[in-house]
Amino acid sequence: MSNFSYVSGERRPVEVLVFRMDPTVVNEFIRIDHDVWTMREAFMDGLARIPFLSKEVWLDDSKPGEVTIVFVWDTQADWDQVGAIEFQQKLQAEFDALFPHPVELIAAPHEDSHFGIHRVTRFERID
């Protein structure tokens, strides 16, 4: 059976952001987050390739209005480049203009661990 892939020995930086908002605006948040943050960071000027390997959005049905975003970055240097203050401020202003609802960042575990969270293995089903 070779309908899976297993990779070990990685050291991919992981960013985790947890937001809280009115549950009625979650779908709008996800759409605008993708249009602004995902696409602009993926195709930032000066990058030779998309700097992250994946970005996932998780919802917890037991916590309506809570959205968890998980990035797996290719390298810390890539993440740092995208994290440039001016670029992030520009994206935040664009996001705020399109999403006028209150949103609160309630957790950023990668910051609590001083950017120490890393993906070291990956097991995936291949269809």
How confident is the model over 9-51, as pLDDT tens digits?
999 999 999 999 999 999 999 999 999 999 999 999 999 999 9
Question: Using alpha carbons only, how large is the chain's radius of gyration in Å?
Answer: 16
Q: Work out the average pLDDT over 75-100.
A: 97
Using pLDDT thresholds of 50, 70 and 90, give the confidence band for residue 1: low
Examine the pLDDT at 110 and tell me if it is beyond 70: yes
- Domains, the chain, with CATH or none: 4-125 (3.30.70.100)
At residue 59's C-alpha, the angle toward residues 75 and 124, to 5°, is: 50
Residue 113: how many CA atoms within 13 Å on its side-chain side? Answer: 13
pLDDT at residue number 22: 98
Q: Work out the average pLDDT over 50-75.
A: 98
Percent of the chain past pLDDT 90, that is, above it, reads 98
Examine the pLDDT at 65 and tell me if it is beyond 90: yes
pLDDT at residue number 68: 98
Burial 90-109 (b: 16+ CB within 10 A, else e): ebeeebeeebeeebeeeeee
pTM for the model: 0.94
Examine the pLDDT at 87 and tell me if it is beyond 80: yes
Using pLDDT thresholds of 50, 70 and 90, give the confidence band for residue 2: confident
Residue 58: how many CA atoms within 13 Å on its side-chain side? Answer: 11
